[in-house]
């Protein structure tokens, strides 16, 4: 399990095999997405993988997030 996924699960008290819902649609989440990307100069390594920078998304929403269809402020408001 990747460190950011482990941090997300630990923060929310989830086990590795727990069902996780997409924070946008409520369907099954398949990805834990970084809201602020690694390339953002404002994000320190510690903040990058912190739960405040992570959101569970389904495949459709994850693709939309990478296509900049969701603003970062919108995603942050969902957590």
**Rg (the chain; Cα; Å):** 12
First-to-last CA distance in the chain?
21
| Residue 1, pLDDT score | 82
pLDDT tier at 48, thresholds 50, 70, 90:
confident
User: How many CA atoms within 13 Å lie on the side-chain side of 41?
Assistant: 0
| Residue 17, pLDDT score | 92
SS3 19: coil
pLDDT tier at 44, thresholds 50, 70, 90:
low
Residue percentage of the chain with pLDDT more than 70: 90
pLDDT, tens digit, 9 for 90 and up, residues 6-36: 999 999 999 999 999 999 999 999 999 999 8
């Amino acid at each position: 399990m990747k460190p950011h996924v482990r941090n997300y699960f630990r923060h929310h008290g989830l086990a590795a095999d727990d069902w996780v819902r997409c924070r946008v649609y409520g369907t099954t989440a398949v990805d834990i997405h970084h809201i602020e990307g690694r390339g953002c100069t404002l994000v320190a390594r510690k903040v990058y993988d912190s739960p405040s920078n992570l959101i569970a998304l389904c495949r459709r929403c994850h693709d939309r997030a990478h296509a900049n269809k969701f603003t970062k402020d919108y995603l942050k408001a969902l957590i």
